């Protein structure tokens, strides 16, 4: 896994979580975590770190809280499950491209109800034989939806 340096944009909590996952073998060593984390900062985030008073970091947990609080406004608005109903398959878009585009958005929605997801992906299909077959099939899971796509 690689971790792109945080530049002050996106969710700072996600960055901390990815960093902790990468450093999992050293997770009990506060000094290593505190010294390593700044190497994954860039731009305004690195400038922020550089301006912290010497000795102000007492533990990685405290450092992470300071970081997350400082960049909390940088978190990009998280879309809710309602947004999925706006994703429609384009007139000339392949099923694979539609499913990839839909899934890219769906995986970022926390606690997404799978029934809502299935309904939204089916509703977004362009009119045609496949959409009609899906409507008749009464699919109950995303796996059934994927399997039906492979058969058609």
What is this structure's pTM? 0.51
Tell me how far the alpha carbon of residue 33 is from its chain's centroid: 23
Q: Write phi, then psi, for 5 (nearest 5 degrees).
A: -55, 140
Please write the tens of the pLDDT for every residue from 110-124.
Answer: 788 888 998 899 899
pLDDT higher than 70, residue 4: yes
Q: What kind and span of H or E run contains 134?
A: helix 129-137
Each domain of the chain, given as residue ranges in start order, spans 12-74, 81-151
- Quick one: CA torsion of 87, 92, 95, 101, rounded to 10 degrees? -40
* Coil vs helix vs strand at 41: strand
The CATH T-level fold of domain 81-151 is 1.10.1200
8 forms bridges with which residues in the sheet?
none
The pLDDT of 121-131, averaged and rounded, is 87
136 forms bridges with which residues in the sheet?
none
With bands split at pLDDT 50, 70 and 90, how would you rate the model's confidence at 26?
Answer: low
């Amino acid at each position: 896994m690689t971790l792109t340096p945080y530049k002050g944009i996106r969710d700072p909590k996600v960055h901390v979580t990815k960093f902790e996952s990468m450093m999992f073998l050293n997770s009990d060593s506060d000094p290593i975590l505190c010294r390593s984390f700044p190497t994954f900062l860039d731009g305004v985030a690195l400038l922020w770190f550089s301006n912290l008073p010497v000795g102000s970091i007492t533990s990685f947990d405290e450092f992470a809280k300071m970081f997350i609080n400082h960049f909390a406004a940088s978190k990009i608005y998280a879309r809710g499950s309602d947004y999925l109903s706006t994703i429609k398959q384009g007139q000339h878009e392949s099923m694979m491209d539609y499913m990839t585009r839909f899934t890219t958005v769906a995986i970022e929605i926390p606690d997404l109800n799978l029934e809502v997801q299935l309904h939204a992906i089916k509703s977004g299909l362009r009119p045609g034989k496949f959409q009609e077959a899906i409507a008749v099939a009464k699919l109950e899971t995303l796996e059934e939806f994927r399997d039906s796509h492979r058969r058609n």
